[in-house]
Amino acid sequence: MYKLFLYFLVLVLIDSVIADVVINELMYNPAGNEYDFEYIELYGQGEDISNWYFEGIGFTFPSNTAINNYLVIANTLNDSGENNDFLDRYPNTNCNHEYTGTLLNTGETIILRDNNDNIIDVVTYDDWVNENHSLERIDIDGYSSDPNNWLQSIEGGTPGQENSISVTSGCDWTILIILNGTVFEDPKFKIKAMKLKGNEKANLTIEKWIEDSTGNIDKTYSPWNIENILNYKTSSEYSPSLAKGDAYFIKANITNSTCNDINLSNNFVSAMFFVVDEEQSTNPLSSIQILDSPSSAEFGDIVDVKVNVYRGDTLKYAVYAYIENGKKVTDKTTMHFKNKFTNYTLTIPIQLDLNCDEDYDDDDYTIVIEGLDQEAKKTIDLNGRSSECNKKSPSTSSSSTASTSSSKFTYKLISKPNKIETNNPFETEVRLTNNENKDINIDIWSYVYRGSKCYSGNREENQQNFLLEKQESRTVKLENTVPEAEPGDYKLKVKIRKDNQKTTKDITESIEIIEKEIEESYEIEEDSITKENIYKERPFIPNQDPLIIYESNSYKTKRLVPFFIIGLLCFFSIILIWRH
């Protein structure tokens, strides 16, 4: 009898645990300028949710409402006309509920409460996804307010269906290069593998090699085979012997994983550094000289500029290299010279734009090397259009995030730094073109963020508002400063609002904040071998520590159930022994 009672009690407790309801998907920025296609999706099993209600939007579930798997609440369920309501866009989705209000594109907090006003689930989101992509929950049992438990969906979202991203669909591993600086006499580096998503251990194989500034492989290493890695592992320190006076690229790639890696875009990483001869001096005045550079080049070429940099008695240590003609036609190359009273000679490779769209004229341009309160310039003749442009499909742009256009209004990222320092202002340049037959009101701003947190002050701190006249093209400069942040990879977002529309046009790019010493670790030293590898470069996507804002009562109960069951089993075992 006691045993039957125990089995019954365990079944009841387990059933109560799995009856949770969670907010599973949010479509807050649908395609177009209207909010009619917004929706919220819940997920639950066999729960009576009669008279439950939301805060953040206006909706209360009617009596006799139960949830079995997915339940969708739409902003505009059915409206007259074509393609202007939820059922027009998602005709095969079962949806019978409509809420009032809207989901803010800039982020807000959505709370689900039961009929006794208890909080069932709460999600605080930010502007985390691109237009026409929903915010999907990864792990049903994970924390709702952990930014790492949410990812961008496939285009259009998945209302009433299994999420396109889920914890059961695989793992996500990434790698980074630990390189404490950019200019070295004797370079040293490590490779770190990190898990971003998933619960299982995995075996990884990581290839790593070093290329010179012309792309030739200078040094390769035997594969790093890692077994039963759970969260992260760091290699031992590598100390390559390289010719001085040149720029090099460390490259690494995850070539094999025993788990189903759902995001291959972050399996490759590359970092540029310089190897130099250091000569000591006592002169307190810094100086920069361009020793050698080509007099002409074609767009798409790499321009090698040989320079001499002397850092005297100054606290400044950063030097930047780029090419301009009133506006930059290359990214800035950043170098850090750590030692005072030291003379450095090195060659800087500067990659020219392909000029596929012929945005840049054949003309004289200026090579600029600046920093340490010094500047050196030299003229270079640039012309032509890279032959690489002919290899591209006409329908494929060079960067999905850097340039987006329609037939009437276009916007394109012109320049931005790859690396920035805290408390050091930097500029982003965006070109806007109005091909319409009327003037357009423009709001444009930019910010640096990672996950849900903005690191460059208020998001709209540098907002500019102006009238872009018909047939006008204008380059806008946006300045940002990151006052304080840990070194690592972040995101730069540019937002453009046209004629006060609800939906903004977005440009999102990776940006790195440098530099502080990263922790020491362990692992194998690999022997150098010789072989050639060619891999496609992919951007690095960083991890983010979870921020727990709210833990629901049902989640707390779920964690306490095993201890409660063990206690009951012990109690009834004692009774059974005593009765015998």
Q: Is residue 540 part of a domain?
A: no
Of the three residues 136, 168, 200, the one that is the final residue of a domain is: 168
Helices (H), 369-415: none
Of the three residues 168, 197, 222, the one that is the final residue of a domain is: 168
Stated pTM of the model: 0.39
| Residue 149, helix vs strand vs coil | helix
Instruction: Assign 370 a pLDDT band (cuts: 50, 70, 90).
Output: very high
Same domain, 266 and 298: no
Same domain, 381 and 417: no
Q: Is residue 524 part of a domain?
A: yes
- Which residue bears the tokens 């340039």? 403
Q: Is residue 27 part of a domain?
A: yes
- List, in order, residues 6 or more apart from 250 with CB less than 8 Å away: 177, 179, 189, 208, 210, 270, 271, 273
Instruction: Assign 558 a pLDDT band (cuts: 50, 70, 90).
Output: low
Same domain, 340 and 437: no
Average pLDDT over residues 271-277: 87
CATH number of the domain bearing residue 377: 2.60.40.10
Please name the helix (run of DSSP H) or strand (run of DSSP E) that holds residue 578, with its range, or none: helix 553-579
Same domain, 44 and 152: yes
476-522 pLDDT per residue, tens: 999 999 998 888 888 899 999 888 876 678 888 889 998 754 444 44
Query: Lowest-pLDDT range, 53-67, 227-241, 267-281, 402-416?
Result: 402-416
Same domain, 427 and 451: yes
Higher pLDDT, 34 or 351: 351
Q: Residue 476 corresponds to which tokens in the numbers above?
A: 């806008």
pLDDT higher than threshold 80 for residue 446: yes
Q: What is the pLDDT of residue 554?
A: 52
Q: Is residue 536 part of a domain?
A: no
Q: Residue 164 corresponds to which tokens in the numbers above?
A: 């396109």
Of the three residues 395, 430, 449, the one that is the final residue of a domain is: 395
- List, in order, residues 6 or more apart from 572 with CB less than 8 Å away: 2, 5, 6
pLDDT higher than threshold 60 for residue 4: no
Asked if residues 424 and 316 have their Cβ atoms less than 8 Å apart, the reply is no
Question: How many angstroms separate the Cα of 182 from the Cα of each of 107, 124, 271?
Answer: 37, 38, 9
Q: What is the pLDDT of residue 387?
A: 63
Q: What is the pLDDT of residue 539?
A: 38
What is the domain extent for residue 478?
397-514
Average pLDDT over residues 156-160: 92
Average pLDDT over residues 263-281: 85
Average pLDDT over residues 290-317: 90
Q: Is residue 462 part of a domain?
A: yes
* Structural domain count of the chain: 5
CA 536 to chain centre: 19
Same domain, 40 and 136: yes
Q: Is residue 452 part of a domain?
A: yes
Q: Is residue 545 part of a domain?
A: no
Q: Is residue 67 part of a domain?
A: yes
Same domain, 380 and 484: no
**Gap between the Cα atoms of 31 and 132, Å rounded:** 5
Please tell me whether the peptide bond between 136 and the residue prior to it is cis, using omega within 30 degrees of 0: no
186-212 pLDDT per residue, tens: 899 999 999 887 777 889 999 999 998
% of the chain at pLDDT higher than 90:
33
**Gap between the Cα atoms of 42 and 24, Å rounded:** 5
Same domain, 575 and 506: no
Same domain, 484 and 564: no
Same domain, 9 and 27: no
Same domain, 488 and 402: yes
Q: What is the pLDDT of residue 573?
A: 72
Q: Residue 461 corresponds to which tokens in the numbers above?
A: 């701190």
Q: What is the pLDDT of residue 36?
A: 84
Instruction: Assign 53 a pLDDT band (cuts: 50, 70, 90).
Output: very high
pLDDT higher than threshold 60 for residue 434: yes
Highest mean pLDDT among 265-274, 328-337, 358-367, 372-381: 372-381
pLDDT higher than threshold 50 for residue 454: yes
CA 229 to chain centre: 24
39-50 pLDDT per residue, tens: 999 999 888 999
166-170's contacts with Cβ under 8 Å and 24+ in sequence apart are 166/136, 166/138, 166/139, 167/138, 167/139, 167/140, 167/142, 167/197, 167/198, 167/199, 169/260, 169/262, 170/197, 170/198, 170/259, 170/260, 170/261, 170/262
Output Rg (C-alpha) for the chain, integer angstroms: 28
Average pLDDT over residues 230-237: 89
Query: DSSP readout, 31-61?
Result: SSS-STT-EEEEEEEEEE-TT-EEESSB-BP
Same domain, 253 and 337: no
